[in-house]
Amino acid sequence: MGAGSSILDRLDETIVLSPEERILLESVRGLASDCIAPAAERYDRTGEFPSENVAAINALGLNAMFVPEVFGGTPLSYTCYLAAVRLISAACAATGIIWATNFHAMKPLVDFGTQEQKVRLLPRIAAGGLAALAITEPQAGSDATAMTTRFTPDGDHVVVNGGKVFITNGDVADLLLVFGKWTGIDDPRAAITALIVEKGTPGFDILRTEEKLGIRASSTAALAFADCRVPRANLLGAPGAGLKLLLASLNTSRPSVAAHALGIARAAFEDAVTYVNERKQGGRRVIENQGIQFLLADMATDLALAEAWLWHVGRLVDAGASDFAVEASMLKLRASDVAMRIATDAVQLHGGYGYCRDFRVERLFRDAKITQIWEGTNQIHRQFIGRSFLER
């Protein structure tokens, strides 16, 4: 075993976690290796929703870690949550994002919901319910403020009309946090409002689920709302308060999608190291060529630095920081670029075998691509980070 192989493990040992969190993460590690990883190839091939994985995650009670105790949860640190996302995603990126989406969608309810809403809705999530976060529309992707879904007040109800696309868990979620515009507020940004729609509400339909390049077992749904009447009690925040909520929710979901990307990157890196140590060509192991060592050096260095920044952002959030949007954006940008590059290089290091399904790197390569696209494309993140240095 080379000295370099312990670098990433040593970095993991520096993650700030309580003894209870370490024990829980050991259980997550066991679940990932014994149950989730072995099924990943099958779920990728069939594109079937990994219900067994979701059930196993719920048997460990993992949703409870992001729900406050009074609402049925067992809260743990954000760092612990990120570490769990990374472990599950390394085993199966589709399952990792399904679970992480529960957090992305429900964190705004935890942070901005009324007591009544939390008492009514959060125990369902703590007990293992699925959630979805619905922002994107056909004409409103990078510019979410262009959304046209309408929320029209009608007595004790809000009437929803419009549609969403690309919604992770959209067809399976028990609760959907949906963003739309409040009828009667003209300013397009000030009109954005958040509403929780419950599964089975009349007027809410699933139009289709997408056939995808990667994360194939996670469902990505197009949703339609036609005169869908939702109790006004499900409004999250005041009419027009949605943009603030949306930005706050992205701040905590972006590190989480970075953890997902770094799970993929770590798996691809480990597979590549194993392979070039075993594969022989020209009478020696592939790793003995200096050109291959240079490639591994760059992969390892980029991965270690991105992981270190993941735990830095985790610490910021756990310390109660409120303004970490640029750090979160830098993390999402770099983690996803690193994941794509490491997965690409890992395929290269497997030669022709890396291009075939017999090896996991083929799947990791396809799974990595989405990480550069969602939660703000990397073009948008570069703009946001660069603009933060603009003196006004």
Ligand X SMILES: Cc1cc2nc3c(=O)[nH]c(=O)nc-3n(C[C@H](O)[C@H](O)[C@H](O)COP(=O)(O)OP(=O)(O)OC[C@H]3O[C@@H](n4cnc5c(N)ncnc54)[C@H](O)[C@@H]3O)c2cc1C
Contact footprint for ligand X (CB under 6 A):
101, 133-136, 141-142, 166-168, 212, 220, 370, 373-374, 377, 379-380, 383
Beta-carbon count within 10 A of 304 CB? 16
Cβ distance to ligand X smaller for residue 126 or 223 = 223
> Closest residue to ligand X, Cβ-based?
141
The residue to which tokens 């099924």 are assigned: 39
Cβ distance to ligand X smaller for residue 314 or 376 = 376
Cβ distance to ligand X smaller for residue 105 or 230 = 105
Least gap, CB of 138 to ligand X (angstroms) = 8
Least gap, CB of 28 to ligand X (angstroms) = 23
Which residues are the active-site residues? 375
Least gap, CB of 46 to ligand X (angstroms) = 17
Distance CA 116, CA 271 (A): 48
Cβ distance to ligand X smaller for residue 224 or 304 = 224
Least gap, CB of 48 to ligand X (angstroms) = 16
Region of residue 255 (left: phi > 0; alpha: psi -120 to 50; beta: else) = alpha
**DSSP conformation class of 206:** E
Contact by Cβ (8 Å): 81, 65: yes
Distance CA 231, CA 40 (A): 39
Region of residue 240 (left: phi > 0; alpha: psi -120 to 50; beta: else) = left
Contact by Cβ (8 Å): 362, 93: no
- Backbone CA torsion sign across 103, 82, 312, 392: negative
